[in-house]
């Protein structure tokens, strides 16, 4: 039987929350770049930019802004994924440590749930729902008799729904843009439509990230409260390191 140590959930949770705030800033910058590019396309389409010099100057500025915003987005997005998986594993291991038969899967499945096709459409949602509900129910009733039947809180429903929608819109946008790039005679209106699609995707992703912040903070507070109720003490990693799950 694998041993799970209780680790103070405060530091990884707060670090993930900080990264998520930075990610929201990057999404806002990407949205602004997308809006600026749309304004440029409309200006060309409506003849507001008449001279070639004006068009080239605005095009260079739009490309520069897009490049900067995309670089910041990627720079924050990739680490945020890794940090999220680390936080989720630790939160799940903490629940296992406290003896909560909280979920149908082991902590490491929190990562694989996002990778396996079709499985990834529902299992991450179920994993997070049970991770939230197990500590919430334990704090309130000290009973495990029916917590698996509890519905997910609104923040988790919003988080997963907006995550799926934003990914769906992003896939459509990428494939559409790839087809347009192969067509040198593609109309400007098509690129404007892609930008509108991207803006919707960014909006849903911002809502998703805000919901994730609420979830992370909620699970962190509930785990601390759960441990204090069970042990009447603050989490102490040095003292707890020898405990295991039976």
Of 13-22, 58-67, 157-166, give the lowest mean pLDDT range: 58-67
> Can you read off the two tokens belonging to residue 134?
């197990």
Q: What span, in angstroms and rounded, lies between the C-alpha atoms of 213 and 10?
A: 13
Q: What span, in angstroms and rounded, lies between the C-alpha atoms of 86 and 202?
A: 24
Q: Taking the chain, what is the end-to-end CA distance rounded to the nearest angstrom? A: 8
Tens-digit pLDDT profile for residues 133-172:
877 665 555 455 556 667 888 999 999 999 999 999 999 9
Q: What span, in angstroms and rounded, lies between the C-alpha atoms of 171 and 178?
A: 11
> Can you read off the two tokens belonging to residue 200?
């919707």
Report pLDDT for 237: 39
Least Cα distance to 7 among 79, 139, 98, 131 occurs for: 98
Higher pLDDT, 218 or 3: 218
């Amino acid at each position: 039987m694998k041993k799970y140590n209780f680790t103070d959930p405060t530091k990884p949770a707060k670090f993930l929350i900080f990264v998520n705030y930075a990610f929201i800033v990057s999404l806002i910058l990407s949205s602004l770049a997308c809006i600026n590019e749309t304004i440029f396309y409309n200006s060309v389409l409506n003849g507001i930019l008449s001279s070639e010099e004006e068009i080239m100057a605005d095009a260079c500025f739009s490309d520069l802004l897009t490049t900067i915003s995309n670089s910041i987005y990627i720079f924050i997005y990739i680490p945020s994924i890794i940090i999220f998986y680390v936080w989720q594993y630790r939160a799940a291991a903490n629940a296992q440590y406290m003896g909560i038969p909280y979920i149908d899967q082991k902590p490491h499945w929190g990562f694989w749930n996002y990778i396996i096709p079709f499985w990834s459409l529902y299992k991450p949602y179920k994993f997070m729902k049970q991770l939230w509900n197990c500590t919430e129910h334990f704090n309130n009733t000290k009973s495990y008799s029916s917590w698996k039947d509890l519905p997910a809180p609104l923040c988790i429903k919003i988080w997963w729904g907006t995550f799926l929608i934003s990914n769906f819109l992003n896939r459509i946008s990428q494939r559409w843009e790839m087809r347009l790039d192969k067509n040198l005679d593609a109309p400007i209106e098509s690129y404007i439509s892609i930008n509108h699609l991207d803006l919707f995707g960014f909006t849903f992703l911002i809502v998703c990230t805000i919901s994730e912040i609420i979830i992370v903070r909620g699970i962190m507070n509930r785990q601390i409260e759960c441990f204090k109720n069970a042990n009447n003490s603050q989490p102490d990693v040095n003292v707890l390191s020898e405990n295991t799950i039976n």
